[in-house]
Structures are given as C-alpha cells and as structure tokens.
A and B are shown apart, each in its own frame.
Chain A
Amino acid sequence: MDEGYQAGVVFAALTPSDKLRDAAVALKKLGFFVETMTGFEYTDTQEVVYHFNCFLEPKSRLALRVLCGEGMGVPSLADLFAGAIWLEREVHEFFGIAFDGAPDLRRLLLPEDADYYPLKKTFGTVQAFRKRDEIYG
C-alpha cells in the first residue's frame, strides 16, 4: 500500500479561514472539485473539512481543514463551486456552522422547521465528546 496515501489524502492542511477562499480559487484553476465537505465538533472548537480531488491526476485528493470557534463563520465557496451550495447547507443544518456569504442556507435533509443540529455532540446519544488535541494531538 502507498505509504503517503495512508489516510486517503496527499496532505491535509490546517487553513486559516481568511486563506480558504484563496486556496479554493487556486485549486479550481488546477482543475480540482469539492469531493465532500463535513463538520466536526470538539469541546474546544469546531472544524470544517474540505476534501478536494482532481479528475485528471490520479491520487490527488487533499484536505483543507478550517477551524471555527463557536459562533464564528467560515467563508462560503458557493460562487466558486456551485456544488458547494448543497454541501454547505448540509454542514450548516447538521452542525449549526454558518457560512459567510452563502446564498442559501435552508435545511436540506432535515425538515424545514428543524430547530436542532443533530450531529452536534450535545444532541442525542453521544459516545465521546473530546478536545481536538485528544484526537489529532
């Protein structure tokens, strides 16, 4: 097995939220697309992870990780990648993370009047709610 690709990505970069859009513009020019986007919740912070991949280059998946504290937003990529609109709607409804400049943050998979964020670690049955360093430290 390819050692450098053990976690399924070429690299994962912790990106400051004000640099995210610059990185996304550069990646779009290189032919990358947003493969998926998901959120994380820790006791001390929240995080959005973007996985980018490229159709033309094998094994080119990379991850951008953006930390966002409670109540802070992440810049939206909806104007760069139209597919990000739905992904941002999903992360927003599951984690309550706001996307600055997102054109549409209606509920996507949940009922439109849902006033809960089901993937938050304070909702429902939860096995573990940890600090970020306990997993990635």
Chain B
Amino acid sequence: MAEKFPQPVVDQIYTLNLGPQHPSTHGVLRVLLDLDGEIIIKADPVIGYGHRGHEKMGENRLYKQFMPNTSRMDYLSGMIFNHGYCLAVEKLANIEVPERARYIRVICSELNRISSHLLWFGTYVMDLGGFTPFLYAFDDREQILDILDRVSGSRLTYSYCRFGGVTADIDYEFVDQTRAFLKRLRSRWPDYHNLVTKNVIFIHRTRDVGVISPQLAQEYGVTGPSLRAAGIPFDMRKIEPYEVYDRFDFEIPVGTKGDALDRYYVRMEEMEQSCRIIEQALDGLPKGPFINDEVPSSLKPPKGEVYFAFESARGQTGYYLVSDGSKYPYRCHIRVPSFGNLNVLTEVLRGTLVADAISILGSVDVVIPEIDR
C-alpha cells in the first residue's frame, strides 16, 4: 500500500529571499518575497548593501575631489554622472565652458548611454534565458569602451569631465572610430531584432508584464525609460535642455502600455536616437579650446544652492549642491533615478508570478550602487 505523504497546508504563505546574490539581480539587491505558491503576495526590496556614504564624502571633499565618486554611483553611465556633476558645479560657480568641450561631452555621454543600454539589453535577455544576444551586445559595447578608454583612460569610471571642459581633447582617430562604430551598430540592428524583438518567447515573457501606469509613476517618482514606456515624454534633455542638446534634432521615444515590452522598445529606440545625436555633434564639432584654463583647482563657489537635473541612462538624476562660500559644499545630495524605479516594484510585483518578477526586475534596469550611494 502506498504510503500517505503529509499534504501541504492550504493557503500556506512562505517567504523567499531573492538575492542578495542572484544572477538576475545586478548588484546586491535582496527582495523578500511573500509567496502563495508561485504568486507574489508582497515584495519588499532590501537595499543598502552597497552604501558608501557618497553624500557625506561629498561634504568632506573639494568640489574637484568629488569627481571620481560621481562615476562610481551609477557605474554603467559614469560619464553621464561626471557630466551632470560638472554642469551642476559650473552653474553654481558661473563657469564658462568652451563650445568644443560641450560637444565632446555630449558625444561621450551619448556613447556612454548606448553602452549602458547595450549592457542592459544583453543581461536582460540573458535573464530571460537567451545567451546569444548577450555576446552580440557585449561585442558592440566593447567598441564603445575602447573609444572612451582612448580619451579618458578608463573603461567604466571615467572622471573625464572637468569644471570648464574635459581633461583631454579628442582627435581625428576618435572621430573616425566613433563614425565607424555608429555604422557598425546600425548594421547590427537587424540582427538584434531578428534575434530578440521578433522572438515569440521573448514577447510572451514581456508583453503585459509589469505594467507601470502614469499614476503609479507619479506616486513613486518613476522616471527614465520606465516612465516613457507609459507614454509620457519626460526627458531632461528636452524638458530642461542642458549643454547643447537643444541644437540637435532627436526624438523622445515613448510607449503606450508601460509594460516590460514597451520598456524594451523605448530603450532600443533610444540607442538609435543617441546615434543621431552623436552624428550631428560630430558634424558640427567646433574648433577651439577644450577646457577653460582659468578655473582654479580649489573652487570656492559663491553662497547659494543649485539643483541640477539631467538625464542619465536610467532616468532623471539630480545634484543638489549647497555652497556656504567655502572650498567644501555644505550639503551634497544626489537624486538617483533607480531609487524610485525600484521603489515602484513593491507595488508592481504584487500578484505576479516569480518568473515574471525576474523579467520585471530586469526590464526596469536598476543599478543598485546608484540607489545605495
């Protein structure tokens, strides 16, 4: 006679630890999931494993000394964080920036944005079980890292921008390499779309999964591609044009439903728009100095404060700097986009399947060290 096994209690709810080390949580994120079978009842992201106290460091360093910290928050778009920090301090201290430097910064920032999106593309599809696109994406991303490595000396944590310009000028080889890269990347789009965008398994894993509506975005302060996928064209490059973005012709791609598939479409289209910006910037690259030589290395901005917002690869980022007239900022606060983008998952993950949770986490593209600061 068959032995009778004990049957599970009906309505048994149990807690599952997703992370802190899990292949699909990029960085050390831990999510406490209360599960009823495979359905998530409650999700509580536990963050702070990568907290380094950047804000405190910012208050104890010269303005210039904080530069390396900025690219270590969101290490995937370090150039954009450098760029934004420079713009914030330049606004605070009224520093003039030569035209050429402005163009160089835009080109490098947009290259960085593409590299960040490519990494997201590769890892996201790998989360969903497809390994091949990952290799394609990293192959392309490597080209960008080589280009940026030549001018800045680093692959990830650039610290390339300076108050009033950039550390080194770009040369003809940089321009040629960048143009060749754009040509190559554009020739790869059909491969990407054939491999992933038209893949029926991919579509089933992402369509109608993890919908972030505009109302939800407003409650949680969601920004970036996750917000634009819901149909709101909120991009700092257009809303509060900084640097020379208002001179270029580009579009803000938006989705309609705000699901994971829309977020995917928005990011893929954003890469193409970044290519357009880079092309126009390369065409219009002015001659002249690449840095304002008159900026002292220990800067003393006048008393006052500035809140400077810019668009990083993940959304709206802001530096809030308060100067008391001394060499050190009195307060240095950083608004990071992933903070709100991860926070919203407490709501979005409720009622979904665990398998979808992996897809949603990947599609929102959070960078944990940026949240932890």
Binds A, one of B147-155, B263-271, B320-328: B320-328
Q: Are B331 and A40 in contact (CB under 8 A)?
A: yes
A6 touches B331 (CB 8 A): no
Interface string of B30-42 (1 = CB under 8 A from A): 0000000000000
Cα(A110)–Cα(B240), bound, Å: 33
Task: Report whether A7 and B304 are in contact in the complex, using a CB–CB cutoff of 8 Å.
Answer: yes
> Which residues of A83-113 have CB atoms within 8 Å of chain B's CB atoms?
83, 85-87, 94, 107-111
Q: Are B218 and A36 in contact, CB atoms less than 8 angstroms apart?
A: no
Indicate if the CB atoms of A119 and B330 lie closer than 8 Å.
no
Cβ-defined contact, B51 with A127, below 8 A = no
- Contacting residues of chain A (1-48) with chain B, CB-CB under 8 angstroms: 1, 5-9, 28, 31-36, 38, 40
- Does A58 make an interface contact (CB < 8 A)? yes
Contact of B308 among A8, A38, A110, A111 (CB under 8 A): A8
A81 lies within 8 A of B219 (CB): yes
Total number of residue pairs linking A and B with CB closer than 8 Å: 116
Cβ–Cβ contact A127 & B328, under 8 A: yes
Find out whether the CB atom of B324 lies under 8 angstroms from the CB atom of A135. Answer: yes
Q: Which of B194-230 contact A (CB under 8 A)?
A: 214, 217-221, 227
Interface residue B306 (Cβ < 8 Å from any Cβ of A): yes
Distance, CA A33 to CA B60, complexed state (A): 31
Determine whether B232 belongs to the interface, using a CB cutoff of 8 Å to chain A.
yes
B311-348 at interface with A (beta carbon < 8 Å):
316, 318, 320, 322, 324, 326, 328, 330-331, 333, 335, 339-340, 343-344, 346-347
Asked whether B239 is an interface residue with its Cβ less than 8 Å from the other chain, the reply is: yes
Q: Is the CB of A36 within 8 A of B372?
A: no
- In the complex, the answer to whether B343 meets A61 with C-beta atoms within 8 Å is no
Which residues of A sit under 8 angstroms from B156, Cβ to Cβ? none
Contact call B307/A7, Cβ cutoff below 8 A: yes
B309 close to chain A: CB less than 8 A: yes
Are the C-beta atoms of B220 and A38 separated by less than 8 Å? no
Using A82-B220, A135-B330 as known contacts, say yes or no to A51 and B335 having CB atoms under 8 A apart. yes
Separation of A59 and B295 alpha carbons in the complex (Å): 29
Q: Pick the residue among B309, B322, B335 that contacts A135 (CB under 8 A).
A: B322
User: Contacts of B330 on A, CB cut-off 8 Å?
Assistant: 128, 130, 135
Contact call A55/B218, Cβ cutoff below 8 A: yes
From residue B320, how far is it (CB to closest CB) to chain A in Å? 6
Q: A108-B47, A110-B48, A134-B324 are in contact. Are A35 and B221 (CB under 8 A)?
A: yes
| Chain B interface residue count, Cβ-Cβ cutoff 8 angstroms | 47
Decide if A124 touches B339 in the complex (CB within 8 Å). Answer: no
Collect the chain A residues with CB atoms within 8 Å of residue B239's CB.
Answer: 58-59
Question: Which residues in A have their C-beta under 8 angstroms from that of B344?
Answer: 83
Query: Is the C-beta of B59 less than 8 angstroms from some C-beta in chain A?
Result: yes
Give the A-binding residues of B (Cβ under 8 A): 47-48, 51, 53, 55-56, 59-60, 91, 214, 217-221, 227, 232, 234, 238-240, 303-309, 316, 318, 320, 322, 324, 326, 328, 330-331, 333, 335, 339-340, 343-344, 346-347, 372-373
Could you pull out 30 A-B pairs where Cβ atoms are within 8 angstroms? A1-B91, A8-B306, A8-B307, A8-B309, A8-B318, A33-B218, A33-B220, A33-B221, A35-B318, A36-B318, A38-B320, A38-B333, A51-B307, A51-B318, A56-B232, A59-B239, A59-B240, A63-B307, A82-B220, A82-B347, A83-B219, A86-B343, A107-B48, A109-B47, A109-B372, A110-B48, A118-B53, A124-B56, A126-B59, A135-B330
Q: A40-B322, A87-B339, A124-B56 are in contact. List 11 more A-B contacts (CB 8 A).
A: A6-B306, A7-B304, A8-B318, A36-B333, A38-B320, A83-B344, A119-B56, A119-B59, A127-B326, A128-B328, A135-B324
Measured CB to CB, the residues of A under 8 A from B are: 1, 5-9, 28, 31-36, 38, 40, 49, 51, 55-56, 58-59, 61, 63, 81-83, 85-87, 94, 107-111, 118-119, 124-128, 130, 134-135
| Leading 4 A-B pairs by shortest Cβ distance | A8-B307, A83-B220, A36-B335, A109-B48
